[in-house]
């Protein structure tokens, strides 16, 4: 029997979630049989928290098939992508239908990446009203917000100052932990989250860097780490931060190793050493896309 991934209180929700949250983007373009093999893998490793989005292709429909029988075994989270109320409300209806669930545990505003995104979201006719409505009508138990890119901590700080979010999601990995701008912002933001009992989810744990001119051989927009030992180090580095959750990779062929790495992590032994991580950073030239290199910001690059 595989060792189960450790669990942690998910903020103030009262739910103990597996520290690796399954990222439903991995199911965007897979066949039902492939999706079902992923589901079995999640059960084997004790993953009890699923995160998806209305924009992740067929993901919600695959997960919806599972929820018919296993809804009570999972903390179910999805995301709305639209910034305005009317469009966001339609997305929520689509998600609930696809997920075969009258209620999700967590409804998140997805990927705020510019100041203007937050302005629209919080405006009079903004999508924030859908979060209010979802809570009032028991369509969602809790609400969250996500952001990508180097400005994520600052954008999310504004969000949690303006609205009582239960969770946030933003990038974090070893390279970002060494970035002179991102790391101080990340630390300051997560300190506030800790004080307020807001769950912090992280993405891009095994990102190596942008593809640049290399052929895209994986189902993720960035170039990921691929060797087992490198994935182990990257995943377990994030897990050394005891109050962080890690959302799994969006490529189902890499998912098993991410789950194995998390399952084998032991607090008492700690994670990889600073020397190991620095050697990997230099040997593999770890980096992240620049300020305009994230998908939603590509149009800003000119």
Burial (CB < 10 A; 0-12, 13-18, 19+), residue 273, is exposed
CATH number at residue 210: 3.20.20.100
User: What is the model's pLDDT at position 214?
Assistant: 82
DSSP for 206-256 reads TEEE--TTS---SSSSSEEP-SHHHHHHHHHHHHTSTTEEEEPPS-TTTHH
CA–CA distance, 183 with 193 (Å, rounded to integer): 15
Q: How many residues does the chain have?
A: 302
pLDDT at 218: 84
pLDDT of residue 292: 64
Total domain count, the chain: 1
189: three-class secondary structure by DSSP: helix
pLDDT given for residue 115 in this prediction: 79
All residues at 6 or more sequence positions from 131 whose CB lies less than 8 Å from its CB, including other chains: 107, 109, 140, 143, 163
- Identify the pLDDT of residue 297: 59
Nearest by Cα to 39 from 286, 277, 274, 255: 255
- 2: in domain: no
pLDDT by 10s per residue, the chain, length 302: 468 999 999 999 999 999 999 999 999 999 999 999 999 999 999 999 999 999 999 999 999 999 999 999 999 999 999 999 999 999 999 999 999 999 999 999 998 888 788 999 999 999 999 999 999 999 999 999 999 989 999 999 999 999 999 999 999 999 999 999 999 999 999 999 999 999 999 999 999 988 887 888 887 878 899 999 999 999 999 999 999 999 999 889 999 999 999 999 987 788 999 999 999 999 999 998 776 666 765 555 44
Going by the DSSP 8-state scheme, the letter that residue 138 receives in this structure is: T
240 located within any domain: yes
Please list, residue by residue across 169-187, b when 16 or more beta carbons sit within 10 angstroms of its beta carbon and e when fewer do: bbbbbbbbbeeeebeebbe
What predicted TM-score, i.e. pTM, was given to this entire model? 0.95
* Residue 176, in any domain of the structure: yes
Whether 261 contacts 231, CB under 8 Å: yes
> What's the pLDDT at 301?
47
Residue numbers of the domain that contains 91: 7-301
The pLDDT of residue 302: 42
Q: Does residue 1 belong to any structural domain of this protein? A: no
């Amino acid at each position: 029997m595989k060792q189960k991934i450790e669990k942690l209180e998910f903020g103030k929700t009262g739910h103990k979630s597996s520290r690796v949250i399954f990222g439903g983007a991995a199911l965007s373009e897979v066949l039902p049989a492939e999706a079902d093999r992923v589901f079995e893998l999640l059960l084997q490793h004790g993953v009890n928290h699923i995160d998806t989005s209305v924009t992740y292709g067929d993901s919600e429909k695959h997960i919806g098939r599972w929820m018919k029988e296993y809804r009570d075994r999972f903390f179910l989270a999805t995301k709305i992508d639209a910034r305005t109320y009317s469009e966001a409300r339609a997305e929520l209806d689509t998600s609930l239908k696809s997920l075969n669930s009258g209620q999700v545990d967590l409804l998140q505003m997805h990927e705020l990446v510019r100041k203007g995104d937050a302005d629209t979201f919080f405006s009079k006719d903004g999508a924030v009203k859908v979060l209010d409505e979802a809570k009032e009508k028991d369509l969602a138990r809790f609400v969250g917000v996500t952001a990508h890119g180097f400005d994520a901590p600052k954008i999310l700080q504004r969000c949690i100052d303006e609205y009582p979010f239960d969770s946030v999601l933003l990038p974090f990995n070893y390279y970002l932990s060494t970035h002179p701008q991102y790391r101080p912002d990340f630390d300051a933001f997560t300190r506030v989250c800790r004080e307020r009992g807001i769950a912090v989810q992280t993405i891009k744990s095994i990102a190596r860097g942008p593809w640049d001119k290399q052929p895209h051989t994986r189902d993720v927009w960035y170039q990921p780490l691929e060797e087992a030992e490198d994935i182990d180090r990257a995943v377990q580095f994030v897990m050394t931060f005891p109050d962080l959750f890690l959302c799994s990779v969006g490529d189902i062929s890499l998912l098993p190793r991410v789950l194995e790495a998390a399952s084998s992590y032991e607090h008492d032994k700690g994670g990889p050493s600073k020397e190991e991580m620095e050697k990997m950073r230099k040997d593999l030239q770890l980096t992240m896309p620049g300020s305009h290199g994230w998908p939603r910001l590509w149009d800003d690059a000119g």
